[in-house]
Structure formats: structure tokens, C-alpha cells
Amino acid sequence: MAEFSGHLSIRAEARENGQTVLAAQSFRAPFHLSKPYWDGHALIVQVVNPTAGILAGDRLESVVSVGSGAAVLVTSPSASRVFQMKEGEAESRQQFTVDADGWLEFMPEPLMLHRGSRYRQRTEIDVAARGELFFADLLMPGRIARGETWVWDKLRLELTLRVGGELILRERLVQSGPELKALAELAGMGEGACFANLVLVSPKLKALADWQESIVALHGSGVWVGLSQLRGECGGWSLKVIAADNLGLRKTLKRVREILVGTLPRLASDPRKL
């Protein structure tokens, strides 16, 4: 079976009229870009995988940079599926750079790992002082309709965040399907539990405000929410969500966006609109 060495590189810059355009782009299978469009808040960029999914030996590299004054929402129309592997693993490397006064929202559909799969994702994010970021990593437990949940072999997610050149966050999750299922059960969730890891950065989020209480108040039956302020004075926050199912996760993320849009108006963009 053929192995992919996929590549995606885009550079977004602001025009004099305030709109954002892709000043440079290149991609190679399994990546494909739908036609980007400006919605009045951000440039919507849909990243499509026209293949069946991610297979053993695949190596994927994404580089996204946002210039000063530019605003971009990078999303996807469907879940990223990682298929069963007899040997080896698949690997994805993501690099995001946001210049001063730039905005990047990264909100793809969830990652879905099939039985016997092994997947590693390394994410490096560099945000300049006065840059803004809304980053989301979403995870489903597997093919629920087929009764195939929590049966992948290994998932490794690594995230490094620097703001203004200073290391602000470094985290790593290394779990098999059964190990992560045990964590979901500790939160009182069943077979369909879904996870979200969000990172927020903006100078507008430095001061204490009502939005924090509103997000923490989302914690309750069927949803666990944890909000932590990151070190330094960068306006950085870590938000973790565990929901009982995919629908509950989507509703919670929608509500998070609604709470924050008054402070971060770029969140008025719709990540699901094609």
C-alpha cells in the first residue's frame, strides 16, 4: 500500500481594505484546499483529505503562518480517520505562526482512530506579542456505530506553545484506547465520550472577566470543563473538555464560542460553513 508524504503550507496576509487573502499556498496529497473565502470576520480555509484516511507510514506536515492584521479560520469538513496498522505508525507535524495583530483559529473536525491504529501528532505554535489564537484538538473514541470504541493501540499528542518567544506551554498525552477510556470513566462518561483540548491566546484575555465564570459554569452533568490560566502575562488559557458524546461536545464548543465572541469578535465566523 502506498505511503503518503503529505504537505500543506499557507501564508495569510491582510490587504489594505482589511480583508485577508492567501499570499502563498502549496499542498500535496492527501491534503487539498477548497476555495477560501472571506466572511467579514476571517478568511475561511477548508482543508480536505480526498483519500480514505491516514494509513501506516503516512507522514503529514502542515505549516500555517498568519501575517500582521490578517485573520484566518482553518477547519475541515469531516473527521480525520486513522486506519488499522499491521506495523509502524502514522505521524503528523503541525507548525503554526501568528504575527503581531494577527488572528488564527484552528478548528478541524475530530480525530477518529480505528482499531489497531498508532498515531503521533506534534504541534508547534509560535504567537507574537499582540497575536491572537484559538486552537482546538478534538478526539472521538472511534466508530461508535460499529461498536468499535477505545481500541486503538497508541495515540501520542505533543503540543508546544510560545508567545512572544517565551515558552508558555508544553504538554504531551500518550495513551492507548483502553487507558483513555479509563480516564473518561473517571469523569463519569460512557462509550461515546469525546475530548477537546483548547488553547487560547489574546491580550484581551489578560484581565479577569465574566467570560471565565461563564465557561466554568458549563461544567455539569454530561460535560466536564477545566479552565487554567497559562504562565506569564500573555493572556493565555488552557481549556479541557470531556463530553458524554459528540453532540454534547459540539454544543459545549458552540457555547464556548458564544461566550467569548464579545471579547474575541473573530469567533463570529462559522467553522462548519462551506
Tens-digit pLDDT profile for residues 37-91 = 999 999 999 998 766 789 899 999 999 999 999 999 999 988 999 999 999 999 9
Is residue 169 assigned to a domain? yes
CA 33, 122, 138, 263 torsion-angle sign: negative
Burial 70-92 (b: 16+ CB within 10 A, else e): bbbbbbbeebbbbbbbeeebbbb
The mean per-residue pLDDT over the stretch 199-203 comes to 97
Q: Tell me the CA distances in angstroms from 207 to 165, 233, 261, 262, one per residue in order.
A: 21, 10, 16, 14
123 within 8 A of 104, measured Cβ to Cβ? no
Q: Which of 272, 264, 139, 154 is nearest to 204 (CA)?
A: 264
User: Around Cβ 142, how many Cβ atoms within 10 Å?
Assistant: 24
Is residue 272 assigned to a domain? no
Q: Specify which residues 14 forms β-bridges with.
A: 20
Is residue 270 assigned to a domain? no
Per cent of the chain over pLDDT 90 is 81
100 within 8 A of 130, measured Cβ to Cβ? yes
Is residue 222 assigned to a domain? yes
Spatial distance between the Cα atoms of 267 and 22, rounded to a whole number of angstroms: 19
Asked if the model's pLDDT at residue 2 lies above 70, the reply is: no
Amino acid at 14: A
Q: Tell me the CA distances in angstroms from 97 to 21, 33, 94, 247, one per residue in order.
A: 16, 19, 10, 31
Burial 95-127 (b: 16+ CB within 10 A, else e): ebbbbebbbbbbbbbbbbbbbebbbebbbebbb
- Residue 274 has a pLDDT of 47
The mean per-residue pLDDT over the stretch 128-145 comes to 95
Spatial distance between the Cα atoms of 28 and 31, rounded to a whole number of angstroms: 6
By residue range, what is the domain housing residue 214? 5-265
DSSP state of 123: E
Give the total number of structural domains in the chain. Answer: 1
Least confident of 26-35, 70-79, 127-136, 236-245: 26-35
Asked if the model's pLDDT at residue 188 lies above 60, the reply is: yes
- Residue 233 has a pLDDT of 86
Is residue 271 assigned to a domain? no
Is residue 26 assigned to a domain? yes
- Which residue's entry shows cell 489574546? 202
Asked if the model's pLDDT at residue 8 lies above 70, the reply is: yes
Asked if the model's pLDDT at residue 229 lies above 80, the reply is: yes
Q: Strands (DSSP E) along 118-204, which ranges?
A: 118-127, 132-140, 142-143, 148-149, 154-163, 166-175, 194-201
Is residue 246 assigned to a domain? yes
**Rounded to 5°, angle at Cα 42 from 40 and 47:** 130
Q: Is the model more confident about 175 or about 232?
A: 175
Q: Which of 20, 151, 26 is nearest to 85 (CA)?
A: 151
Q: Which three cell numbers stand for residue 144?
A: 461508535
The mean per-residue pLDDT over the stretch 8-25 comes to 96
